[in-house]
Structure formats: C-alpha cells, structure tokens
Amino acid sequence: MASGNVVLEIDDALLTIFLRLGLAKAQAQLPFQIKQVTATIHDGHHIEIAAGQARIVLRPALDTAGRIDLRIVSAKLGAFALPTFLYGLLNAIVNERVNALLSGLVMQGLRPRLLDVRTRGRALAITAELAEVEA
C-alpha cells in the first residue's frame, strides 16, 4: 500500500467560510445571534475568531484520536467571559467544520493520518500522511 505526506494550508478566508457555515448551521443552539464571522490566523500559534461582539481565541492541536482539535483558550462576549459550558459547543462547531475537509479525502480513496497541526504565517498548516485505502 502506497503512502506519502502532504501539507494542507487553510488561510484566513477559507477558515472564515468554514466557520460561517458551521455557526449558521448551529445558530439555534447559541444564546446569542451571530451576524458576522471573521477568522484571523496568527503565527503565534493561535487563531482569533470575531463573531459580532464575541471574541474567541483558539490553539490548534491534535486530540488523542489524531483529529484536529482547535481548543478554545478564551471566549468573551463584549467585556464578559462566555460561560464555560459554551466552550464545548463552540469547540464542536469549529472542529466539525475543519475535520469535515479531511473526511473528503476518504471518498477519494485515501486515508489521512494527521501528523501535525499548527499556525504558520497566516495559515493553519495541517501535515498528514495519506495512504491508499485497501480495496
């Protein structure tokens, strides 16, 4: 079975689109209305999401199952910290969108094994080993 490595980079604009779609889909579960979503990727190993008055800071990592986990470091609505119970919901929305991108590779006959995720420049860089799916 053949395999090789690939680095996928998601820039601010594409990450913003993913988040906008995910948050719009989950709007009914959130206690506040989201009008605009903007993601800004910083080379200092974090991502900032602005959604109206909400500001969320994420750090990329791989979870124990080898999936991307954009962990919430802080979340505020205006000057107030969001309740911690919302962290799980927001985390699920963000991570579902980013991991959905990788699930499309399986439909192409490839099995990704994530090796690393980090911010690099103004992009979220995902390093993965891709192997052919055995028939």
Q: Going residue by residue through the chain (135 aa), what tens digit of pLDDT does each one get?
A: 688 898 989 999 988 888 888 777 777 777 767 778 899 999 878 999 898 788 889 899 998 988 888 888 888 888 888 877 777 777 777 778 777 777 777 767 888 888 999 998 889 999 989 888 776
Q: Are strands 54-62 and 68-77 parallel, antiparallel or unpaired?
A: antiparallel
Judge if pTM exceeds 0.75. Answer: yes
Which of 58, 60, 39, 42 is CA-nearest to residue 50? 39
> What local confidence, expressed as pLDDT, does residue 69 receive?
87
Confirm if 115 and 5 have CB atoms less than 8 A apart.
yes
> What local confidence, expressed as pLDDT, does residue 135 receive?
64
Tokens of 6: 């690939």
> What local confidence, expressed as pLDDT, does residue 106 receive?
72
